[in-house]
Amino acid sequence: MFPLAFHRLMADFITSLVLCQAAPPILSVDSGYSGLLSGTPVIPEYLALKCGVKLSRKYRALFASHFGFERSSSKKVINANKIKSEDLKYKGSFHYKNTKTRQGFGENKILVAGRRLTTFRDTVSFGVLFPALFNPFSLSYIAFDFSVLEFCCEEWSTGSFIQGVFTEKLVAANYRAHLTDVEKWNALNPTVVENIRRTWYKRASQTLVTSALQMAPSTNIDENEEDALRNELDGRTGDTDEDEDDDAEAVEV
């Protein structure tokens, strides 16, 4: 069973799907999820895994070229890939800006690129339609991103690419570990970390969110009509009694 925070994250994703893409409805703990807080929104495991599969495909497309993995039958290349995979997995080094010195927690550029391909892919993506769910990025969202990235790293663990199957068995333990790391990082300075999480949101979303916000909604009321309506309202209180005569007259056509 995935931990509670994971279900909350996935519930956010599925809620967005329900609103804009008519996905299956979210289930509650009454549907068989024991051990969780009563009334907490959770989702069926197959939907959580479906989200993970989609994210892993996007990150997989970026992973090899970003970190320099090569497909080859050469023993030298295979060994280099294996060492690289081990180095990146060491204490979650893959998500640091500098993977060797482990500086820049969660700031590896692949995360920005991956989020732009998933959460902020286009103007109907979750992050654009429902910014309140992602600004700032939640701790569980960040931990899940890390988990998907580690899953991609694991696919190169033998030195040759072997495509994995995104399952709870493979991901749940890593997710819990990353969530603990993210929570510890956040606890060091919550104010600064929140600002960083908001900055990450801006970096991933800035082009799409900006263009979406700048799109003026269509309207049938121009400036002149606004002035006329304003003048009309200025002479009324809105009480129903004072409008009864007008209503009566309107019936006589």
Q: State the pLDDT at residue 187.
A: 93
Q: State the pLDDT at residue 218.
A: 55
Arithmetic mean of pLDDT over the chain: 73
Assessment of whether the complete model's pTM goes beyond 0.75: no
- Which 3-state string (H, E, C) describes the chain? CCCHHHHHHHHHHHHHHHHHHCCCCCECHHHCCCCCCCCCCECCHHHHHHHHHHHHHHHHHHHHHHHCCCCCCCHHHHHHHHHHHHHHHHHHHHHCCECCCCECCCCCHHHHHHHHHCCCCCCCCHHHHCHHHCCCCCHHHHHHHHHHHHHHHHCCCCCCCCCCCCCHHHHHHHHHHHHHHHHHHHHHCHHHHHHHHHHHHHHHHHHHHHHHHHCCCCCCCCHHHHHHHHHHHHCCCCCCHHHHHHHHHHHCC
Span 165-212, pLDDT tens digits: 887 777 888 888 998 999 999 999 999 999 999 999 888 887 654 443
**Percent of the chain whose pLDDT exceeds 70:** 62
Indicate the range of 123-127, 129-133, 210-214, 248-252 predicted with least confidence.
210-214
Indicate the range of 84-88, 203-207, 211-215, 227-231 predicted with least confidence.
211-215
What is the average per-residue pLDDT within 134-161? 90
Between 237 and 248, residue with greater pLDDT: 237
Indicate the range of 17-21, 202-206, 236-240 predicted with least confidence.
17-21
Between 231 and 69, residue with greater pLDDT: 69
Residue 17 has pLDDT above 50, yes or no: no
